[in-house]
Every structure is written in C-alpha cells, then in structure tokens.
Structure 1
C-alpha cells in the first residue's frame, strides 16, 4: 500500500462521491481529500424534472461544486479520468496530471446507453444532467414556437409530438411532467393545447418492469392518463432506428414510424467504461464489492453508487442508496486512518418517490403506504431537498422552495386553468399550508414520536431550519 501521506482520491462527483468528500471533511479527516469530476456543477438527478419545468431553479438543482465545497477541506479538480492503475495506486487525467493515492473511491456513475440503435446518439435527447435538462427545455420551447408559426397541419403535428423511449421511472416521470407542462406552454403562445401529444414507447407491455418502483405500476398508469393531456402508449415496440423527425420501431412483426419533433431517451444506462478495464470481478460493469464496499483484492479502494454491487446484498442504483453509501465510506475511511477495522454498510430503504406531473407525486413510504398528489409532491421534495449537499445550500434552497409552495412565486403554471390541470393555485397554497401545519402541531405535541416516524423524509430537519422547536 502507498504511503499514508498520499491523498484520498474520489473519482466522480455524484451523490456517492460528493457525500463521501463532504462527510470526510466534516469528520476532520486528517489527510488531503481530492474530488475529481469532469463537470463544474453537481446534478441533483431526482429533481431534473423540476429544473426542466421551472418548478425549481437552476441554482437549486444544478449548483456549482465550488459553492457546495466552500469552507470544506476538499480539493476539487475539474478534469476527466483517463486511466486507473490499481496496482500502482495511481489515477491519470486527460490533462496529463497524475495522482497517487493511499485510498481511492470509485463513484464514476453511469453513462447513457443507446443499445447500438442507429441514430439514437445523434437525434435522441437524454436527461441525466442539468445541462441536458436545460437543453431539452430550450429545444421544446423552440419546437412549440415553430409549431405556432406554421400553417401546415402535418408539420405542426410533427413539431407538437414528443416521443419518449423507455417506460422505466425516468420515462414515466418525464412523460407526466411534459403532458402537464407542454400544453400550458403552447397555450401561452396562443396555440391549441389539445394538439400537443406525448407518446411513451416501451419494448414490453409492462411499465416499470423489473424496477424497484414496479409496485407503483397502477398508480403510474392512472397518472399518465390523468394529465392535462393523456399520455399515449406504444407497447411491445422494439425501436430499430431514430431519425431527425421520427422513431422507427417493430411491433407485431410490422415496421412502423412515429413522426416526432422531439425524441427523448430514457431507455437505459451502462456503467462507466473505465470500470470494465479494471482487473477485478464485475457484474455487467458494476464492480463486485465486499459488505464494506471495498474491492476484495484492493482493500484501499472503495466503490459505490452505479459503480458497485454486492452479490450478498445488491442495492438499486438510486440516490438514497448512493447517499447512504457515501456517508458509510467516509466513516470507514476515517476508521482505517485510526487503525480500526471497516464495518459493513447498512442501507435503510425508506420507500420510493416518483414525480407524476406538475405539483403531483407519489410517496410510497417504506413500500407500504402511498401518499399521492399534492401531499406526495411535498413529501417528495422535502425528502430530496434534505439530501442537498452542504448545510448552507440546503437551508437556502429549502426556504426558497417553501416560499414558492406557499405563495406560488414566479410560476406561470399556477395562472393556468387548462383542461385537467391537476391543482390550481389556491388549492395548492391551501394544501401546502395544511400539510405544513399538521406536522408542526404533531412535533409540538409529541416531538420524540414525530422524529422517529419522519426522520427518513427530511421533514423534521426542514421544519427545524424554518421554525426551530421551542424548548
């Protein structure tokens, strides 16, 4: 093993990597910490739909690393990893710089995979980063503007059709969001909102197939139909090609084409290609790790998030798992520096959260109780905002979010009363106030029970930041 004077190097600034770095810094870790990430901004992936729709602001969902790491002991290096040498304990970057490490954390995340579909990389738009969410929003706005300008019915139909490839959680959340959002945007331009079409294309007949959210299938199906415009489905469809203005697919042994001005890709991800080159066992690119998240043959190396899996206790590649893994890795690194043994990582699955339209979500608490619509939306955003890295950023964003929820500040969506718009401004404000008031009363009456029941959701911390409890 390399000398202890070498830094701890963390590759990847997603949930697992960033929280490892921040928690190490908070624990007064006595050795240098280097976080290497190719982007300059952190993407809070579960809230990308709010960034797309404008429900949350760019600085809330897509903050700069330099702001999140301000005041920490983490040295941020914006660069791309070129090679990892586990035997020499060295990382090489595109810039030519090399870092020797005493400990390494692999948190490189995953990449969009197009399954070798012709035209997909060129014409389909993924949604995995803040940059992509902003680009998709601009593209959709432009398509709507083009549609309002044309008198050609066929051309307008194409421009107003959005095809979403993949009916996993990302595809469903995107479809529900756009089926509420696009009619409102188009109506603002003076168009007929009924002309907008959102189509979900899926290889099988089941949505959420094989996903941790599969038990929400019926709830999601109802939500997809109960939008401002209902989402259309194309099932049992194998996409064979994507062009600039359409999707070709095979269905029932017939080749068909869906004309669409926007094609979004949510059909799958693959582990980072560098991981496949490492001389260690992997499962489809995800590194096999011990219960402590270490590589069996290289105990100085940890792996987490989309990068890793355990044959004994596999976990879904979700934000709540990566967040907990980051904290656990930081604790084990500190134990190792103190010559203490690493301890197995315990992941607590607290349920699942899904966005099902503007101001509407489902919170499936511990996979037992479903809280839907506006109440689910508030729980989902409170839970996710609690995960925001950096306490100062968390407090600022939480206060801004709650203000927006109660007063609907700067939200054009609340000025609309279009078709089946799920919640009008007054109803949303009333619901938000009631939902805020109820836990405040509970917290005051039974503080211990309230903390035990809702600590997973972030609501106690949220309320403590905004209304400190009396003593």
Structure 2
C-alpha cells in the first residue's frame, strides 16, 4: 500500500553540498535503521544544515521502498526507484552511511556496538529499527513459506514462480495443480496487493509458455471475517471487486486459520474442520514483530505496549531516555497506524526536534496528517481512498 509518500530523492536534491567543520570531541547523532523514519530523519537533518556529525547505520546497502515492491516484482518499475543505494541517496548530504549489523545498544552508556567490532558513543540516538516477520508459532511457517518484505524477497519469489510454471509445462496434468497454485497467508495490504498483482502477472507468464492460464490459482487465507481489516468499507469493497476481476479470479478464504505449513501444503482450520491446500508457493504476509534488538533494551514493561513496542513522548522521545528519539514499527503512537506515511512524517519531526535541541529551542509535539491510502490492485490498476472522503479508481502508470 502506498501512503502518499514523498520520494527521498527530492530531499537529496536540496540537501546541503558542504559539511560544516565539527569539533573532534563532539559526540555524533546516530540513526539506527534506514527505513522511512531513519532515512527521512537523515535527509531532513541535511536539509536543515544540522551541525552535529550524523551517522546512519543499516545492515543493507539499499533503502527499500516497500510500498512499491509489487511493481518491482512485476517489472513495472526498475531497481533505481524501488531500492536505491544509501550512498547515492546521501551523496553530498553530510550524513555518513555505515553498512553494518547492529549488535547491541547500551542506553545507559550511550554506546552502540556493531558486528564488525566498531562501536560508537552518541550524543543523541534515533531508533528506527523497523520490524521482522512474525510467525505466531505456526509450525513450519518460517521454514516453508516465502516472506515479501525486501527486494531480495521479491527476486526470490519471482524465481520460485517462474520455476513452478516451467515445471508445470513438463508435468502430467494431475500433478500440475500444486505447481500452479499460490497460497498467500494474510489479507492485509501486503497480501491483497500481492494477490492482485500475481493474479494478473502469472497468466501472462504462463501464456508465454503456451499453456492454459485457467489452471492457475491464487488463494488468500484470512483468519478474520474480512479483508483489509481496519480500512474503510469502500476500500475493502473496491479491493474485493478487483480481486474477482483479475485475469484469474483470486479465491479468498475468510475465517480460515493456517495452523501448520508443510512442504507444498498449508494445513487450515475452517468451519471447525481441518483442511489441506496443496501449493508449491506459499507466501507469508501476515503480522510483524519488533526487531529482536528492541527487546534487549533496558526499557521497563510499563513503557512498552503488548507487542513490546516502545512508547514515546509527544516529541517522539523515549520516556526514560530523552536523548533518544524513536519512530516507525519499533515504536507505538496512539491512534496512528504503522504505515510508511506515518514513519516518514516522524522522521521530519525528529529532525526538527534534534535541530531544536542543538540550538537550545523548545521541542515541538509531532503532528501526523493522514492523507489516505493508495492500493495497487493488479497490473496498471489501483484504487485510492483520500482523506477518508474520496475514492478514485483507475489505471496507474509509472515511468
């Protein structure tokens, strides 16, 4: 789902091209995690001519524009739009980028240790560590399903799907069905957008092999009574309609719980009956959990929510450590969804307050403006729900 997101490259273009001299003894500001909150904090600090040395640390060399992974999978958009390199985005910004894995965070000692052996003491810290896939103790889910969270995941999924289609052309008819079935566990934004994309994309790929596209199945397994739980009724209805209008109709199994996953099989509980769905490709698109590092932080349980996410002040500081700011999936704000548009606005607010701290000014509470949602529902097709008032449907074209 796209959430009215500002492209990071537009901020890079206006970033300062000179770095002001810094006293050697000044402790840096560290930004941990280069997702929407972390990257936009860095870009706004650069745009504001923030004088404190600033370091962005992420395990990957590339920023992942997750709301557009579907276009990357389908080939509608290329790599430079979906996963640009951090060193390109931060070129001449004055922000140092380090590709490394964060090993530990000591909030008391204000120190971050990296897997490479490097360590940094900080004056201010920004926690934007994001989330990881949550498998809810479902047997076999992690071992036998594919995630869809990064560009590497998209490449792996595309390779798996093409392999299955090729194998199906050389497999006797009775054994073809599992190869031609894709099961997607979860009917949130990721599951629905992926299902719609595959229901258009796979028939094109299979037809190119001279085979019968009607044999392809895309099945969504949803534990709840509805798809897109929490979104507006109009968006749910538009998505439901779009799923049925794809090149192959998407099957949605509501009130169906995936209780185990085996190789090429999803074991489901539906209507108090145990059923099995044979599928050579099973995608896990339900739920997320905080990065394990967040669980190790010395934050009392009272200052976390039930999922372990960190509670913040209205200025986005940790309750126990005012020198530490946070945003994105590892934190929680009342009545704010965990979406990209919230995360990048948090980044802008954190940058403003870091600048205010440096200049001795008062911090301002964050104000998040939700602008609506834009969903991709098949190749070149989308629906938008703007400001919970207006819905626009049609074909969406990218360069």
- Asked whether the two chains share a fold, i.e. TM above 0.5, the reply is yes
After TM superposition, the structure 1 = structure 2 runs for residues 386-405 of structure 1, keeping only pairs within 5 Å, are 401-402=398-399
Contact 2:232–2:388 under 8 Å retained in 1: no
Work out which of the residue numbers 310, 316, 323 in structure 2 matches 1:293: 316
Greater mean alpha carbon deviation, residues 101-110 or residues 82-91: 82-91
After TM superposition, the structure 1 = structure 2 runs for residues 77-116 of structure 1, keeping only pairs within 5 Å, are 77-116=98-137
Work out which of the residue numbers 207, 218, 227 in structure 1 matches 2:227: 207
Work out which of the residue numbers 14, 33, 52 in structure 2 matches 1:12: 33
**Matching residue of 1:125:** 146
Show CA shifts across 1:283-339 (max 9, x none).
1121100111001221100000111113xx431111111111101111110110001
- Taking the aligned partners of 1:69 and 1:215, their CA distance within structure 2 comes to 39
| CA 116–15 in structure 1, closer or farther in 2 if over 3 Å, else same | same
Kindly state the Cα deviation for residue 215 of structure 1 after the two structures are TM-superposed: 4.8
Contact 1:21–1:35 under 8 Å retained in 2: yes
- Taking the aligned partners of 1:361 and 1:292, their CA distance within structure 2 comes to 35
Q: How many residues align?
A: 372
**Matching residue of 1:50:** 71
Show CA shifts across 1:141-188 (max 9, x none).
1111111122x1232111000000001111000000000110011001
After TM superposition, the structure 1 = structure 2 runs for residues 306-455 of structure 1, keeping only pairs within 5 Å, are 306-310=329-333, 313-374=334-395, 377=396, 401-402=398-399
TM-score by length of 2: 0.91
Contact 1:289–1:295 under 8 Å retained in 2: yes
Show CA shifts across 1:65-111 (max 9, x none).
11111111111111111111111111111112111000000000000
Query: What SS is found at the alignment partner of 2:76?
Result: coil
Kindly state the Cα deviation for residue 230 of structure 1 after the two structures are TM-superposed: 0.5
- Taking the aligned partners of 1:187 and 1:225, their CA distance within structure 2 comes to 20
**Matching residue of 1:172:** 192
- Answer 1 or 2: higher relative contact order, Cα 8 Å, separation at least 6: 2
Aligned: 1:226 with 2:249: no
**Matching residue of 1:39:** 60
Greater mean alpha carbon deviation, residues 274-283 or residues 351-360: 274-283
**Matching residue of 2:8:** none
Show CA shifts across 1:170-229 (max 9, x none).
1000000000110011001111111111000111221112x3456511111111111111
**Matching residue of 1:242:** 261
Q: CA RMSD in A?
A: 1.4
- Taking the aligned partners of 1:215 and 1:327, their CA distance within structure 2 comes to 31
TM-score by length of 1: 0.77
- Taking the aligned partners of 1:85 and 1:291, their CA distance within structure 2 comes to 23
Contact 1:212–1:316 under 8 Å retained in 2: no
**Matching residue of 1:184:** 204
